[in-house]
Amino acid sequence: MARVALLNSARVLAVCNDLQIPQYDYCPCNGEPLDKRLKMLGDLAAAPTTPTRNGPLKSTQRGYCLESVLVDLLSEESLSPRASYRTIGEQVDGSFAFEGRFFLLEAKWVGDAIPASSIYAFKGKVDGKLSGTLGLMIAMSGFSEEAVSALIAGKHLSVLLADGDDLRAAVSESGSFSEMLRVKVRAAVDEGAVFAPYRITVDGTRSVLASQARQAGQVPQDIRIQFAVEGRSDAIAVGRLGRQVLDALGVSLEIETFPAQGPENAVRLAGSLRDATSPRTLVGVVVDADHEGSVVRQRRFGEHPAIRGRQIVVIAASPGLAEDWLQLSPPFRPTRIDAVEAAVDAVNVDELRARSASFARFASVLEKHVRGLPEADRRSTRTSSEPTHKPERYAH
């Protein structure tokens, strides 16, 4: 089903008509399907010096175009959107209604991950409205781990978070903004997870929608391996290195990794994954041990209310996964995906298992799980074709 865009803002239209993009002979915000508009804006994000009639594209202009994509998407799904507006003393990017609840919307497309201060500023707007109002912040470049952890630490959760991968999935042919929001609301209600990714990440680098994978028969709902992790770099390491362990066993199951933007949210997200799967699914969480050490953090997180007594494996790499598994020296920037991929490719799994207690535990958990499955189930679920959705990489 083609998603035909209908512009709702004269301001956005004026900004978008001002763009001159060499590889396209049409405006990225004018009359194109929503997924194509988002991709074209992503191309501009990757090349911020792309010229317009009045000079380089500004981040605020890209933000206005993103607002138009969101308004059109919400309109298409009958969520009663209101475009950006200003009240006394504050600017609101928009609002919409979903299943009897009203949400304020904040959309950001900047170069760096969003810090805690930006989330708290938005939370202040939400909490200042009618009791029961919720907020959805969409940040195309994601959120800092500290930001998500700080939001969870508060006593009152009123804001949900979505990143660029979530939105790209929502505007894809098989996606839905409503389904994305439903996944996030359920995870927040059940486990207090404020960021629940709307996707299945396979091998840490490729993504397909959960609904699409089920429809294609690629990932049976009751035979799966799922790990919540702190961030995207951890997802790549866990997915690819775990794949090598399974390949050595001749097993075709895939490992689904879910970046949660921080350790506390990863634990809560693991609880939400457990809620949605059968006992035959392996659910785990891989986090950094930081200053606590592996044993202490595994014990403490194992007693977390979201996962205590619920068949969820906790693995803590000390001092962190990047240092322990990949031997990357601090200061390490997890947004450098190319560095992570190069480090993963250089790993000898047998040697890693011999020197890292946390990876040895991870590999043993995988082996124990697959050896308990019938032979047919070990070989019937690996995807045979490239998924349709691949997350963009942002250079910071």
pLDDT tens-digit series, residues 48-97: 444 454 455 566 667 777 787 888 889 989 999 988 777 777 788 889 99
Tokens at 293, concatenated = 């050490």
Cα distances (Å, whole numbers) of residue 229 to 78, 261, 264, 330, 373: 34, 8, 10, 19, 24
Token pair for residue 29? 């915000």
CATH class of 10-191: alpha beta
Q: In this structure, which amino acid lies at residue 198?
A: Y
pLDDT at 285: 95
Helix (H) or strand (E) holding 182: helix 177-191
Tell me the per-residue pLDDT of 288-303, one tens digit each, with 9 for 90 and over: 998 888 889 999 998 9
- Check pLDDT > 90 for residue 111: no
**Interatomic CA distance for residues 56 and 38, integer angstroms:** 19
CA–CA gap between residue 341 and residue 272 (Å, rounded): 28
Asked if pLDDT for residue 20 goes beyond 50, the answer is: no
**180-227, pLDDT tens digit by residue?**
999 899 888 888 888 888 864 333 333 444 443 344 344 444 567 899
Return the domain boundaries, the chain: 10-191, 200-378
What is the three-class DSSP state of 134? strand
Q: Provide the 3-class DSSP secondary structure of residue 344.
A: helix
Residue 172 pLDDT greater than 60, yes or no: yes
pLDDT at 150 over 90: no
